[in-house]
């Protein structure tokens, strides 16, 4: 993120509406879409970070379980209650949860890629508008 808003460079192409200068409607629409995509990308990246943290936590737990003897006492938290489970059951549950999270991570990575591509395309469109705005037209100068 941290992109310079294109409307700051639209100069001569601003419309005057009710005494207030505004960019053309297509530019306003593109800027609104750009901000929406940036927001979606930030949300996806936050979710991705959370999923990665959960996966790491599960991997640590699986590593600890792996080092325990097969007859070790293992408890799983269910709400406010700890339930005794076998090492195998705890390992199976954690591996299943890890697999679900990895699928979710793959989905988030695809969404992130799509959003970044859309932002890049929109950035190019806004850049085109900005270049057009900086190029004076003879009818506007008179």
Q: What are phi and psi of 85, to 5 degrees?
A: -135, 160
Q: What is the pLDDT of residue 40?
A: 98
- The HSE-up count of residue 35 (CA atoms within 13 Å, CB side) is 8
Predicted TM-score (pTM) of the model is 0.74
Q: What is the mean pLDDT of residues 111-133?
A: 91
Q: What is the mean pLDDT of residues 76-92?
A: 95
Q: What is the pLDDT of residue 134?
A: 75
Domain ranges of the chain: 6-136
More confident residue, 33 or 130: 33
In terms of DSSP bridges, do strands 20-22 and 15-17 run parallel, antiparallel, or are they unpaired?
antiparallel
Least confident range from 24-28, 62-66, 93-97, 109-113: namely 24-28
- Which CATH number applies to 6-136? 1.10.287.370
Q: What is the pLDDT of residue 94?
A: 97
For 29-83, what is each residue's pLDDT tens digit? 999 999 999 999 999 999 999 999 999 999 999 999 999 999 999 999 999 999 9
Q: What is the pLDDT of residue 107?
A: 98
Average pLDDT, the chain: 85
Q: What would the two tokens of residue 16 be?
A: 């005057």
Least confident range from 38-47, 57-66, 110-119, 131-140: namely 131-140
- Distance, CA of 104 to CA of 101 (rounded, Å): 5
């Amino acid at each position: 993120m941290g992109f310079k808003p294109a409307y700051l460079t639209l100069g001569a192409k601003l419309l005057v509406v009710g005494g207030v200068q505004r960019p053309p409607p297509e530019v306003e629409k593109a800027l609104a879409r750009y901000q929406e995509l940036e927001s979606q990308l930030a949300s996806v990246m936050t979710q991705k970070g959370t999923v990665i943290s959960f996966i790491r936590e599960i991997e640590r737990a699986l590593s600890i379980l792996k080092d325990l003897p097969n007859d070790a006492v293992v408890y799983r938290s269910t709400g406010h209650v700890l339930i005794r489970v076998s090492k195998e059951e705890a390992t199976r549950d954690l591996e299943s949860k890890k697999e679900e999270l990895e699928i979710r991570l793959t989905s988030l990575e695809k969404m992130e890629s799509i959003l970044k591509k859309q932002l890049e395309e929109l950035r190019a469109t806004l850049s085109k508008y900005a270049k057009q705005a900086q190029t004076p037209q003879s009818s506007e100068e008179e």
